[in-house]
Each structure stands twice: as C-alpha cells, then as structure tokens.
Amino acid sequence: AQSVSQHNHHVILSEAASLELGCNYSYGGTVNLFWYVQYPGQHLQLLLKYFSGDPLVKGIKGFEAEFIKSKFSFNLRKPSVQWSDTAEYFCAGKNYGGSQGNLIFGKGTKLSVKP
C-alpha cells in the first residue's frame, strides 16, 4: 500500500536555526506531493506542492522542498526559522490513481521554535 512517512515526531530548534523535515513516500509513478502546516488553533494550510518540473519547489513563508525521485523523498527546508514557525507540519501525497482529493498524509512533525 502507498504510504507517506515522516520520521521526526517533534523537532525543537532555536530561532535562526536551519530546518529540514524529512518526508518519504513509498510509491512510484506520477507523484503529486504537498506540505501542509497547521499553526496552533488553525486549519491546515498549503505551504507548497510539487506536481512536475523543477524538483526544487518554493512555497510561502520562505519554505522550500526538494523532490528527489531516487530517494523517494520530499524534504521541507527553511534556512532560518522564526518563533512564528512553531506549528505542526504534514507531508502528503496524492494517492496514485485516486481522485484529486485522495491524499495520503504522514503523521506530522511538530516543530517548536524557541525564541
């Protein structure tokens, strides 16, 4: 079965530190990959997405992610985090062959940024 894995459950960083959150997906074929963020008390918001083309995708709030097909990875990065980046981050992939909304989510990574 297809799956999306996020290996970091909770990451704690100081402000200005660099961030990389891991995401691996298990399936081949055409991939549509996403990173969503959920700030405390708020809804899931799309940070960025990859459908095709340039494997380095830039999203909102200074985030980027790189699709590496050979590693089945789509890691999220930010060069310098801020306290306001404290949130839970979810990697997701469209279920291959499924409808447009059929996303498979990872378990999420909670990011805590210390001021």
Partner 1 sequence: EPEVTQTPSHQVTQMGQEVILRCVPISNHLYFYWYRQILGQKVEFLVSFYNNEISEKSEIFDDQFSVERPDGSNFTLKIRSTKLEDSAMYFCASSGGAPGGFFGPGTRLTVL
Instruction: State which of residues 14, 18, 26, 45 lies at the interface with partner 1 (CB under 8 A).
Output: 45
Q: What separation in angstroms does the CA of 77 have from each of 15, 19, 64, 95, 114? A: 14, 5, 5, 24, 18
Instruction: State which of residues 14, 107, 112, 114 lies at the interface with partner 1 (CB under 8 A).
Output: 107
Q: In the bound complex, what is the minimum distance in angstroms from residue 50's beta carbon to partner 1? A: 10
What lies within 8 Å, CB to CB, of 51 at 6+ separation is 32
Instruction: Using the Cα atoms of residue 112, residue 113, residue 114 and residue 115 in order, give the sign of their dihedral.
Output: negative
Nearest in space to 37 (alpha carbons), one of 113, 112, 108, 114:
108
Number of residues that bind partner 1 (CB under 8 A): 25
Instruction: State which of residues 68, 102, 112, 114 lies at the interface with partner 1 (CB under 8 A).
Output: 102
17-25, 57-65, 74-82, 86-94 -> range binding partner 1 (CB under 8 A):
86-94
**40 scored as a contact of partner 1 (CB under 8 A):** no
Q: In the bound complex, what is the minimum distance in angstroms from residue 43's beta carbon to partner 1? A: 4
What lies within 8 Å, CB to CB, of 1 at 6+ separation is 26
Contacting residues toward partner 1, per CB under 8 A: 32, 34, 36, 42-46, 49, 51, 90, 92, 94-95, 98-108
